[in-house]
Amino acid sequence: MAAATVTAAAAGLAPNAALAAARPDAAAGVGAARGTGRRAGTWLAGDTHVHTDHSSDGSTPRQLSDQRDPGDMPVQAQLSKAEENGADFLPLTDHRVYDQHWDPQWESKNMLLIPGEEVNGSPHAVVLGAVDTVVDGANPAGSAEFRHFQQSIWEAQAQHAVWQTAHPDDGEYTRADGPSANASAQGVNTVEIWNASSDPDVEIEYAENRWNAGFRFAAVGAGDSHHRPLWETQAPGNPTTWVFAADRSVRAILDALRAGHTTVGRHKSGPFLTIEADVNGDGRFEAMGGDEVIVRQRHLHRRAALRVRVQSGKGARVLVYATPGRSAGPLAEFTAASDDETYDVPLAFPAGVERHAWFRAEVRQPGQLSGREADPTLPDQLYAATTPVFVSVGSAAEPEPEIPLPAAERGADGAQLVIGEQGAFAGFADVAVADGTRHVVAEVHDDHRTTVVYRRVEERGHPAKAVVLSGDSGTARFPRIAASGKDVWVVWQDERGHEQPHRPTILLRHSSNGGKTFGKAQQLSDGRGRAEHPALAVLNGRHPLVAWADNAGGGAFDVLAQVVGVDRRPVNLSAQGKVTDPGDPDADARSPRWPASLFPAVAADGDGRAVVIWQDDRYDPDPLWTGHTPPPGEEASGGTSPDNWQILARTLPSPGADWTELVKVSKATDAASVHPAIAVDGDGGFVVAWETKALSQSGVNLSLRSARSGDAGATWSDPEPVALDPVAMSQRPSLSADPDGAVRVVWYDSRSVDWRWKVFTARLDAGSGWSAAERLTVPGNNTWPAIDGGTVVFTTDRSATRIQRDSTHEIHLIQAG
């Protein structure tokens, strides 16, 4: 056992106080060994994996009755239990659905609610912070087993979401066979080393195996709670994942998870365990768990040390491990003599480790099983564990998977950088072209904040300086832009820093001088609910038409629209014909009916007419659920998953007129139609495109469909496929007319040989239909395109220097056609 010094902890320092550690010199936790001062932040407690009855197996009665009995796990039940357990944050990660977020019960004044989903058919994973479900596609014949899995990881990264490996002892690893093909997937941010439904010791074994192979990710806990009868041992927050966040916000929590600043304990009440490192021996502990520290040589300063602190762990064993892990025995071991102790352990590269080492700690003691599948013969069960501190010589570690990824394609595609920089994230861009100027907006995530940034790009000359339109707010999202002559409008949603409860509002800014300056933001929504995902078009070159989804009434999400400068207040477009029912969630979690109208898009023609479209699940037999409770004596329906979403439309004949009746555009009965886009062609017809997916949870691809209306939205043609490739996943279409009037679509697609997502395009030509797909982009993953007048903007990771732990995504611009 290595020598260690037990020192007194700072008086009164509770788990939620600032950690006395220095920030590494470089961004993202990678830097030189010397420190720069005290690290500011707060420890926040929560869970990363929790279910409700929006999952098909979300509660005990449904599982035991083969879906015939009522569900007993409504959203509010899990939220209330998490609040009772003292959680600061919580995601609801229902299986392969995002519908829990459209449930009116998804609301808390006391916790930060993180968007979440348990994705993929096999292996399971958790995504935190995505904007809708991450679809698990089908593998092309002959591909490596984990290709679809890897593409899902890149899809999450393109949204700056966190990808988490769920219960790796069921999908990535077994003691008998070691790592499976899925273990070769790269870019994972967090791994469940402690899932209460599984065997944490096997999960830790898997994590150590991957850390030894150069993978770098955080350790997290997962209550994986489905069942009220198991709340005693498996409720939200049991185990508790602590994150060291820069502030109390959704973005700061996601950033902390991505940086690996986590530690796991059995309960919020403890034990609470942290690890820090003073690598250069100057007495300042500059690194914390999750950080990667780069040194010049293997031989560290003789006073280099680890510092391990345990609170509320009196009588427990504290074990410190280094590469290669538990197989080599502990580097140091202690028994906590009090409820607050700190241990200093000499820090050196382990024997036989030349370049990349890691150091972590855990707490064990007798007691209840750490997981339902844990070994009951173990004398000590897991009670706490940290993410390692990673130390490397010369450069950070790179993964050494058993199955390598295909080499990334190289080559120029003519795209230019317009928004973003190394080490930061920019995404969800939009573009408008007017008077020879290309106006671009995007989200930028930096310094734990989310802002809306605008940039004017002239056809000749250098782009103007980027401008933050969202002011001091750090919660601005999903900007859209439209322009007519010198008039430019930008709309976005913004919580203005207040996320408990979530209440985003819709804000609009206008420029009358071609984007050189903007007026003050105008709030359009009333702030009573969640106003989200705005869309924007211009009527008669003068009046912006804004549409968005809103649950201001405290019930179902509806699509609202307002012609700014004409309408005194927004008009509800989707309530017409919608049937809602609050049900009795305490008696049957699946009894409420809140059909959702979401993700609107809008276009206007030259005659002042406009069409708003959106996705809607009112035609599903059990909207937002994977099946309803059958009447007594009848068999369960099985339900649909995903819901039978359809594309609906309404038309505004002219500013100030009444909206026409609701019309169904997609007409499908056996597929989900989602994420629509709309444009006007040179003949004045409205063209709509959307994603379609078989009513299957996973293992099937999204493809694109389109329809056209020649009578301003009164009737629509039968849907037809767009550039269909059965072995490819096609996502997020955007439409615009080319200068010659033909409508062009852009989307991102999985059909490239290097597996990366690429932007593709096709044209709808009169008489010949949609052209074949043409690829626009070459290097990197290229996603979330938007188009106007032949100019395309998209999100790309081509400037990232590492395939793991580099969140760099930028907005590039390219010309199509």
Nearest to 265 by CA among 318, 197, 194, 202: 194
434 pairs with which residues across the strands? 437
More confident call, 11 vs 89: 89
Q: How far apart are CA 303 and CA 298, in angstroms?
A: 14
Q: Is the pLDDT of residue 817 over 90?
A: no
Give the residue-averaged pLDDT of 288-315: 97
* pLDDT at residue 10, as a whole number: 26
Instruction: Report the pLDDT value the prediction gives residue 553, as an integer from 0 to 100.
Output: 80
pLDDT computed for residue 461 by the predictor: 66
Strand segments, DSSP code E, in 63-170 are 89-91, 112-114, 116-119, 125-128, 162-165
- The reported pLDDT for the residue numbered 39 is 80
- Give yes or no for a contact between 674 and 599, defined as CB atoms under 8 angstroms apart: yes
Give the residue range(s) of CATH 3.20.20.140 domains in the chain.
41-269
Torsions phi, psi of 149, nearest 5?
-65, -45
The tokens 């607050």 sit on which residue?
A: 340
User: Which amino acid is present at 80?
Assistant: S
C-alpha torsion sign, points 806, 194, 239, 380: negative
If one looks up domain 41-269 in CATH, what number appears?
3.20.20.140
Confidence class for position 634, pLDDT limits 50, 70, 90: confident
Residue 563 contacts residue 540 (beta carbons within 8 Å): no
Distances (CA, A) of 599 to 93, 127, 376, 535, 687: 21, 20, 49, 8, 17
Q: Is 182 helix (H, G, I), strand (E, B) or coil?
A: helix
Where does the pLDDT of residue 301 fall: very low under 50, low under 70, confident under 90, or very high at 90 and above? very high
**Residue 253 backbone dihedrals phi, psi, to 5 degrees:** -65, -45
For tokens 């000359």, what's the residue? 461
Q: CB 630: neighbour CB atoms within 10 A? A: 14
pLDDT, one tens digit per residue, over 88-119 is 999 999 999 999 999 999 999 999 999 999 99
Query: What is the spatial distance between Cα 60 and Cα 627, in angstroms, rounded to a whole number?
Result: 15
Mean of the pLDDT values across residues 735-750?
97
Is pLDDT above 70 for 527?
yes
Confidence of residue 28 (pLDDT cuts 50, 70, 90): very low
Q: Is the pTM value of this prediction over 0.85?
A: yes
By the 10 Å C-beta count (0-12 exposed, 13-18 middle, 19+ buried), 662 is classed as middle
Distance between CA atoms of 612 and 603, rounded to whole angstroms? 7
Token pair 């997020």 in the structure block, residue: 732
Indicate whether 9 pLDDT > 50: no
Whether pLDDT at 548 is above 80: yes
Identify the bridge partners of residue 95 per DSSP, sorted by sequence position: 118
Can you list the positions of beta strands (E) in 470-565? 476-484, 487-494, 505-511, 522-523, 531-539, 543-550, 558-563
Q: Are 591 and 570 in contact (CB under 8 A)?
A: no
In angstroms, rounded to a whole number, what is the distance separating the alpha carbons of residues 544 and 489?
7
Rg (CA), the chain: 27
Residues ≥6 apart with Cβ < 8 Å to 136: 96, 119, 120, 121, 148, 149, 152, 697, 698, 699
- Contact partners, residue 128, CB within 8 Å, separation at least 6: 48, 91, 93, 114, 115, 116, 161, 162, 164, 254, 257
Specify the pLDDT at position 59: 93
Contacts of 247 (CB under 8 A, 6+ apart): 41, 42, 448
The yes-or-no verdict on residue 36 having pLDDT over 70 is no
Count the alpha carbons within 13 Å of 345 in the hemisphere toward its beta carbon.
27
Angstrom distance (rounded) from CA 617 to CA 664: 12
Helix (H) or strand (E) holding 64: helix 60-64
**First and final CA of the chain: distance in angstroms?**
68
Tokens encoding 209: 């195996």
pLDDT digits (tens, 9 = 90+) for 148-159: 999 999 999 999
Q: Render pLDDT for 670-707 as a digit per residue (tens, 0 to 9).
A: 999 999 999 999 999 999 999 999 998 888 999 999 99
Q: Is the pLDDT of residue 1 over 50?
A: no
Task: Kindly tell me if the per-residue pLDDT of 38 is higher than 70.
Answer: no
Q: Which fold has domain 416-576+590-815?
A: Neuraminidase (2.120.10)
Q: Would you state the torsion angle of the CA atoms of residues 673, 676, 680, 685, taken in this order, to the nearest 10 degrees? A: 20
Tens digit of each residue's pLDDT (9 = 90 or more) over 426-476: 999 999 999 999 999 999 999 999 999 999 998 776 789 999 999 999 999
User: Can you give the pLDDT at residue 2?
Assistant: 32
Mean pLDDT of the chain: 93
Residue located via tokens 């569900």? 71
Q: Over 60: is that where the pLDDT of 788 sits?
A: yes
pLDDT greater than 60 at residue 12: no
Range of lowest pLDDT (142-146, 204-208, 456-460, 780-784) = 456-460
Q: Which uninterrupted H or E stretch holds 785?
A: strand 782-788
How does pLDDT run across 549-596, given as a tens digit for each residue? 999 988 999 999 999 999 999 999 999 999 999 999 999 999 999 999
Using pLDDT thresholds of 50, 70 and 90, give the confidence band for residue 37: very low
Whether 29 shows a pLDDT value over 60: the answer reads no
Banded model confidence at residue 395, pLDDT cuts 50, 70, 90: very high
Question: What number is the average pLDDT over the span 127-146?
Answer: 94
pLDDT at 7 over 70: no
Write out the two tokens for 770. 């949609």
Question: Over 196-238, what HEC string results?
Answer: CCCCHHHHHHHHHHHHHCCCCCEEEEECCECCHHHHHHHCCCC
Domain with CATH 2.120.10.10 in the chain: 416-576+590-815
